[in-house]
Amino acid sequence: MPKFNFNLRNASAKAETPVNFVIRWGARRLVYPSGEAIHPRYWCDTPGQRNYQRAKETRAFPEHPEFNERLNSLLTTAKATFRNYVTDNGREPEVDELRDALNDALGRKEQRRADLLGFIAEFIERSQGNVNPRTGKPLHATYHGRNRITHRLLKDYLAASRRGARVPFTALDGAFVEGFTKYLTTTRGLATNTVGKYLRALRMFVNAAAEEGHEINSKFRSRAITIPEERSDKVYLTEDELNDLFHLDLTATPRLDRARDLFLVGTWTGLRFGDLTTLSADHIEGDRIRIRPGKTGKPVVIPLHPVVRAVLAKYGGTMPPAISNQKLNDYVKEVAALVPSLSHRVSVGITKAGIRRDTARPKWELITTHTARRSFASNLYRRGIPAQTIMAITGHRTEGAFLRYLRLDGEQHADMIAASDLFTMPVMKAV
């Protein structure tokens, strides 16, 4: 006999999240959209309690009777549909067969096609207007853009390889990923990390399909399939370089003066550009900055660095007027070009179309608005501040991701070790 359950797609969401209808029978599992959504605070997921796997009976959610009745009606229809299928066919349905039967019984159009491109197209359409479950804010435009580009690249790859537009999930295996990777790398000439970005999107789509009950080729999800990644040659500014930037006289060029000041605040707060532009006196309490970064939504407390204090005092206790990200990028490069200590050449490289190309460029050319945040993390780490403490501000979720974010070379790691007590303590005289 099948087992029927209702659960939330994301029980920790800070906004409404869809209610999934999960049906299990034998080794099969169908996740069917209930068509309902609810805030987790109104959902009862404690076994044994009244209205388990239903909306709570609370005044804060007055529509709970109608909401629960719709779920009960769906459950009744699903039980009857499953029973009728077995009676008519003499066997239990496959996952897609039960989905089709439910769509017919409920008068719904086909909810999603079982092929890769069809599913991705519907996934993209459904995700419009969705919120980030961690922050409760709308998903960023870059997320939607990446998904659309991945869909288009897959479509182009299938056309180029003459595989046909309808590729079932069961056909996805290591060979498919290898072919798509080769297409992105050699035919499209994309950089290694760009290829990795689109492969992560493909993996996300397939995992979403698996969660919704589609049968997935087990080889696609094996550990043998890896995402290519190349450590990018990003730079950071040392404390000495930041000090040179701070003391640069820019009074004759107000736009560069303002850009420099905004950049410096970023280097001593670790805030992303989007949060930096919203920072105001309201976020400052005594000697602390208290803010909820837009990406994570989690409160962050940052001590006021003397440089940040100086910038605030310069602008009457508030932040410099905001500048667009693109203009700030341009202005910061102009400012950095005026700092002699940033004129030395740095070797940078990137792998495109499978070929690594290295060039030497002045360090100031490589500075962007994001260099400020990377400088914050790298300088604090060099000072011996624990990674977990810095991560509480930067928002990195794993220490591995944080350490990859830093830009310390072998010489700087050696400096950190040499400055430790183990390497500075006096040598005891041998007896």
The answer to whether 41 touches 59, Cβ cutoff 8 Å, is no
- Tell me the pLDDT band of 412, cut-offs 50, 70 and 90: low
User: Higher-confidence residue: 41 or 161?
Assistant: 41
pLDDT of residue 427: 64
Mean pLDDT (whole number) for 92-118: 81
Query: How many CB atoms are located within 10 Å of the residue 32 CB?
Result: 22
In this structure, which amino acid lies at residue 87? T
Handedness of CA 404, 409, 410, 416 (dihedral sign): negative
Residue 175: how many CA atoms within 13 Å on its side-chain side?
5
Q: How many CB atoms lie within 10 A of CB 273?
A: 20
Measured in degrees and rounded to the nearest 5, phi and psi for residue 25 equal -150, 130
Residues 402-422 have a mean pLDDT of: 68
Average pLDDT estimate for 201-206:
92
DSSP of 102-116:
HHHHHTPPP---SBH
Q: What is the pLDDT of residue 357?
A: 78
Residue with tokens 């450590």: 231
266-279 per-position pLDDT tens digit = 999 999 888 888 88
**Taking the complete model, does pTM exceed 0.85, yes or no?**
no
pLDDT score, position 411 = 61
- pLDDT at position 208: 87
**Residue whose structure tokens are 């159009």:** 109
Q: Which domains does the chain have, with CATH numbers?
A: 1-111 (no CATH), 112-230 (1.10.150.130), 240-418 (1.10.443.10)
pLDDT band at 409 (very low <50, low <70, confident <90, very high): low
User: For 147-181, what is each residue's pLDDT tens digit?
Assistant: 999 999 999 998 888 777 678 888 888 889 999 99
Q: Is pLDDT of 135 > 80?
A: no
